[in-house]
Chain A
Amino acid sequence: MPESPIRSLELTLRSIRFAYAEGTWAMDVPSLSLGGDSLCAVVGPNGSGKSTLLKIAVGLLPPQEGRVIWNGVPVGGISRRLLARSLGFLPQESAPLFDYTVEQVAALGRHAYGAGLEATAPEDRAAVDCALDAVELTALRRRRLSHLSGGERRRAWIASALAQEPSLLLLDEPTLALDLHQAASVMQVLSARSASKTRMVVVLHDLNLAALFCPRVILMQNGRIEADDVPSRIFTRERLKAVYGSGVEVFLHPRTQRPVVQPAI
């Protein structure tokens, strides 16, 4: 029956091996535990296996070897519906088939609880309202997706995942193709929510966003976890050069004291 949302649950990956048929690398993750930190970033160059890691972690991609354990149970052994109540996954955005309203997109997040396109049960309504409030789309809740900006659309997608009220949410590039302010506002939403209700693991392209918002960063290269640490120890010139292959400069932001990364030219 439904898991109570706020509990420290742990998603553990053990001796994971996975290779695509036409891939140049094989994923090899001996041991990884997610969910212990409020907001965890997964970074690395293009094609380093960040999305693959996420899909394996939520059980969408069965690994060739190894196990994924959620709350003591293998993810493959739980029904998707029951799993979705505690473990959420927000994939990269794809074009919607129909022109839903913002409210309907959020209500779809309640699917695992048996809700339809309109959330009618009181707890579904409350979750949808709360999610729309968190992403600041309450005023636009009846607006259709085709009438939203890129950033608003992304926030509607995130509202859907938040309405699901999982205790751990994995997000694949939620800031992709957003401009600076929209990306920052998405990260602020995630950061605020992760501090209270839902722990999050976020695949990010932008190293500065990761450094600014995430207390834990996982750095990937060629399907392996190169480093898993606090941002100040991940974002060093030597480490990033080793992974990204070209020179980078790393400074400390004068006010936040967070690392700032720029390519060296």
Chain B
Amino acid sequence: MKPCGTSIFFFLLFLLVLLACPFAGAERLQLRDVWEGLRNLPTLDSRIFLHLRLPRVVLGLLAGGTLAMTGAALQVLFRNPLAEPWTLGMAGGASLGAFAARAFPVLWLAAGPFNTSQVSALVGAGGALMLVLFLARRTGGVGTPSLLLAGITIGIISGGAILVAGGFIAPWKLAEYHRWLLGGLGGADWRQVAALAVLALPGLVILQAQAGEYNPFGLGEEMAAGQGVDVARVRRLTLIGAGLASAAVAAVAGPIGFIGLLAPHAVRRFIGPDMRVVMLGSFFLGGALLAGCDTVGRVVASPHEIPVGALTALLGGPLFLLLLVRRNTQGTAASTAEGNHPVVES
């Protein structure tokens, strides 16, 4: 199979979602009215399209793509096919940080696309990741289920902290509060797209620049080092890129789980393990998946909405369990042995 040819399919899917999903929703938009409004005087349809639907779909595409690419990179770095921002606790930690900055006015400051919730999300994501790595190294290694156990627990603790803090915030902020527990794209606007992009794009550029170095990691860290990979450098850059990317998403959309699992696994199924293509394919598929799920959540329950984090959990959770079961029935011994030997510590 030609990897590049198949990855064009994911790109086309991404485009299809971008073009079709803004037209779906509680208010049916007519293509002709939207087109008229965009060319001449704005109509109601063109306003809904431009200011409500399009930013939301673009936010979904970018957030989903970011999560998927980050997941693909983390899975290789930790040699753990179940690693992604949510299962590593980064999404939870970042959401707790972002929530704190938004819920308490003393912590809130904004300038253009930058605001304090991005900073606190970064602190949250980085703190959670460091803690998870520390716990995993003490209990068997980063290649093992310990990593996930620590990550998911930290996610739950973060959710608990958000619920507790929710008891102290101003009542009119409660409407926003569910997003930080489950993840959602409600109320998306172009400012949020900008806020996501300024943080996520540098992270994604760093990750994609490492893509070629990820391939030898598949045979083990020491093997990669022997084949000419500067393991410590790749590890450092990947953690920085993944931290930026997952903090960026959590700061605008909360802890959306499993996109970073679903997309890379599906992409590898179709185009094989070459990480240089897998990373890009994951971006396109993850974006299409998240924006697509969000559209479904808007349409089926309209005029209410289902938070997209709930749908991705229903879709990705079973895959997580399936992979967990399959992994534990074959060859964990080898991965445990590997996990115990971090050759080059970062």
Q: Is the CB of B226 within 8 A of A90?
A: yes
A199 to B230, CA, bound (A): 24
Q: Is the CB of A98 within 8 A of B273?
A: yes
Of chain A, the residue at the smallest CB distance from B218 is A97
Q: Is the CB of A91 within 8 A of B226?
A: yes
Known: A116-B215, A117-B215. A97 touches B81 (CB 8 A): yes
B276 contacts across to A, CB distance below 8 A: 116
A81 to B227, CA, bound (A): 7
Stretch at the interface among B92-100, B112-120, B329-337: B329-337
Q: How many A-B residue pairs have CB under 8 A?
A: 98
Q: Chain A's nearest CB lies how many Å from the CB of B109? A: 42
For window 20-42 of A, CB contacts with B under 8 Å fall at none
B338 contacts across to A, CB distance below 8 A: 94-95
Q: Which of A95, A97, A104, A112 contacts B228 (CB 8 A)?
A: A112
Cβ of B229 within 8 Å of any chain A Cβ, yes or no, is yes
Q: Is the CB of B228 within 8 A of A94?
A: no
A193 contacts across to B, CB distance below 8 A: none
Q: Is the CB of A94 within 8 A of B219?
A: yes
For window 217-233 of B, CB contacts with A under 8 Å fall at 217-220, 222-231
Known: A94-B220, A95-B335. A111 touches B273 (CB 8 A): no
User: Chain A: how many interface residues by the 8 Å CB criterion?
Assistant: 36
A160 to B228, CA, bound (A): 12
For window 99-148 of A, CB contacts with B under 8 Å fall at 99-100, 104-105, 108-109, 111-112, 116-118
For window 42-95 of A, CB contacts with B under 8 Å fall at 55, 58, 60-61, 79-85, 88-91, 93-95
A55 to B343, CA, bound (A): 9
Q: Is the CB of B216 within 8 A of A111?
A: yes
B226 contacts across to A, CB distance below 8 A: 58, 60, 84, 88-91, 161
Where the two chains meet, the residues of A that have a C-beta atom closer than 8 Å to any C-beta of B are 55, 58, 60-61, 79-85, 88-91, 93-100, 104-105, 108-109, 111-112, 116-118, 157, 160-161, 164
Q: Closest 4 interchain pairs by CB? A: A84-B228, A89-B226, A112-B228, A95-B334
Where the two chains meet, the residues of B that have a C-beta atom closer than 8 Å to any C-beta of A are 75-76, 79, 81, 212, 215-220, 222-231, 268, 272-274, 276, 331, 334-335, 337-338, 343-344
